[in-house]
Every structure is written in structure tokens, then in C-alpha cells.
Amino acid sequence: MDKLVIEGGRALKGEVTVSGAKNAVLPILAATLLTDEPCVIKGVPNLRDTNTMLKILRSLGKSAEFDKGVVRIAQARETNFMADYKLVSTMRASFCVLGPILGKLKKAKVSLPGGCVIGVRPVDLHLKGFRALGADITIEGGYVNAVAKNLKGNSMYLGGAYGSSVLATDNVMMAAVLAKGKTIIECAACEPEVTDLAEFLIKMGAKIKGHGTPIIEIEGVKHLRGVEHKIIPDRIEAGTLIVAALITRGDITIRNIMYQHLGALIDKLQEAGANISRTDGSMRVRWGRRLKPINITTLPYPGFPTDMQAQIMSLMTVTPGISVITEKIYPDRFMHVAELNRMGAYIQREGPHAIVEGVRHLSGAPVMASDLRASAGLVLAGLAAKGLTSVSRIYHLERGYENMEIKLQALGAKIWRQKE
């Protein structure tokens, strides 16, 4: 098992290119189950999660070739209706194969994905949506069994305790595109990754309106065709790189970026005093002057993304003054607090709030990643810290960031892999 070792204190400078969005590519790969025709997906990041989804597709009857950011998918044999626990248990997002399997075969058996270190994330909204479409749902032996003679369009409300659900919206939308009649999803997730999935389905022949808004309308069709599609840039990787420039007092240009997907983050960073300018498809981020503390509340898109909470917390640990970060999506998503405090940060947690008092500098220390975004936050902290920081369990980082240490090295960071 590898760890990352970082010698901090170097200002990042240069240019870097953002990879395709992890949270867009996974459901889009799953959506290829809706057709027997070949599909070509471009701009695919080489991640642990991507390769896990390809293994799942192969187990379900697809052939899948992955080379230089391009995935070519074709039908290898009859589609299997069962997604096995051994694969689904390794990645929560793999549960989104249930919708397309159910839509195509009218029956599906998919392992429950289980909990997560950032908190329990139940699948009740997924099941509520499938039941509204006419599926009979039972849970037995850790598997969700879904059966329907025919799926029929219906109106449903998919809001949960903490707002809309991206994965539930994706899953139900994929089931509904082959259902008979009209489906209306209220309180649908508005994230760009949901919109990218909808655009992919529309290319395949689906009839979808309202994606990107809280109300999505789907008119079922009988057949979907194979298509070619390019994945949108990863807004969370882009946000992480923006923070990397600021936390190291650097000056970097970020390419393949969609400015409109980063509104809440950019607004808060500019409030803190960040120097951010944009041109067509790229952005320049400069430290420029001392930053000010800010208060942040994570919310569903277009609010401040929960997936940037750990990274912004790292930045606030070395920003003079007191910042308050409130987590309203996953209230338990604070596993990185203890690790940042090990590096000399001063963070107090009170329920869903983290109170961050900026310190003059962080000190390198051995730390352990607990989840994907926490690992990114710890790497950022290491870039700013004095001395050596080692980040263990970087398989979390590899789930969502393509070649992160290589990209940081190209910007001047002193970061390398080392065997545990």
C-alpha cells in the first residue's frame, strides 16, 4: 500500500488540466446498460471508481475497453440482471446500475451498497422512485430485488432529510426513460453531473426536459441507441486545484474548466480576497494578498458543495481569523478535523459546525485519509505545512483524482509516493 509524502512550503506555479468528472462518468457508464448498441465515452478519468464500474459492466454482459481516456462499450452477451455484492460493496455509486437494469429487463437484483465513513446514506429515495414507477421491491439477504411487469410513468417527490439526492435522481431517471408514459421527478438534483447524464440519455433517444432544475419531465420511449459522448470537466478537481494555488500562495492557470459550475466556491473565495480571473475554458488563480476568514454552509447545487468542505477547511486553517463551516449534507463529514489538528490546526467541532481559528502555519505530520475528499484536504494541508507530511490510505484519493501527485509535481510541488 502506498502513501504520499509531501515537503511543504512551495508556491505552486504553472498550468494544469482538469480531468473528466468522476460523478458524471459513473452513472453515464451505467446508462450504457439501457442499449445493446455500442457506445463511446470520451474524457474518462483513469480512477479506481471508473475501473470498478467497468468491472461491474463486464459482469453484467458488456465488453468494455479503456484506453487513453476513451471507453468503448459493446454488448458481449445477454444482460445479467444481478449485480454482485463483491463488486457493488466496493463503491457506493455502483448502486446506480439498478435503474438501467430494471428499465431494460423489468427485473434487477443489486446488492445494497452499505454505509460510508462520512455517514449513513440510505437508498430509500431510490426505492421510493422505483415503486412509483410500478416496481415491486423486496430486500432480502442484503440485496434489493426489483420486479415489474411494466414500468409506468408517474409523478414523485424525491426530496430527503438533507434535500435532493444526486444518485437517486440519476437512478430513477435511467429507469424512467424506458417506462410507458410521462414521469415527473420533483425535488430532483440540479447538479451538473445529473445534467450531463440527461444529455447523454437524450443523445440515446430519451425524451427529457427540465434537467438542471428541481423538476425533471421524462416521456418514456421504446428503444435507446448507442452514441458517442464526452464527459464534462470535474468541478471538484477544479475546485481542489484552485484551493491548492491559494493555500501555497501560488499562481496557476487551470484548463478544461467550466466556470459556471463553480459559482458558489468562487464567490466565497473572492469574498476571502482570492484573485481569480477567467478566459474561455480556463482560469487563473493567484494568491496576491492575505486572505480573510469566511463562513460556509454546504448545500445542494448550486449551493456550496459538500465535496469541497474538507479542502476549504484546510485553507481556512492558515487564514487569519475565525471561520465557521456548517455541513448540512452529511453532518458526520468531519473525519479530517482530527488529522488537521495533528498538523497544528485549531479546529473545534460543535455538531454540524466546525469552528476554525487560523494559525500562522501548519507543521508536517503523519496523517490518515478517511475518505476521498478528506484525503484531498490533507494533501492541500501538506502542501502548505512546514516540514514533511505523509498521507496514508491514498487509495481514497485514487478513487476520485486522476494522477493528482503528477499534476502537483508539474506545478512545482515536492510530492512523491512511498510504500507504507
The 8-class DSSP code of residue 258 comes to: -
Annotated catalytic residue 96: no
Q: Which H/E stretch holds residue 269?
A: helix 263-272
Spell out a b/e string for 297-308, using b for 16 or more CB atoms within 10 Å of the CB, else e.
bbbbbebbbbbb
- Tell me the C-alpha distance between 250 and 42, whole Å: 31
State how far the Cα of 69 lies from the Cα of 402, in Å rounded to an integer. 11
State the cell numbers at 114.
452499505
Q: Which three cell numbers stand for residue 418?
A: 512511498
Residue 356: partners with Cβ closer than 8 Å, 6 or more residues away = 293, 313, 316, 317, 322, 323, 324, 325, 345, 346, 347
Spatial distance between the Cα atoms of 12 and 166, rounded to a whole number of angstroms: 33
Do 96 and 22 touch, CB atoms closer than 8 A? no
The DSSP bridge partners found for residue 389 are 6
* Cβ–Cβ under 8 Å, residues 55 and 91: no
Q: Which of 39, 116, 187, 190 is catalytic?
A: 116
Question: Of the candidates 371, 314, 323, 321, which has an alpha carbon nearest to the alpha carbon of residue 343?
Answer: 314
Catalytic residue numbers?
116
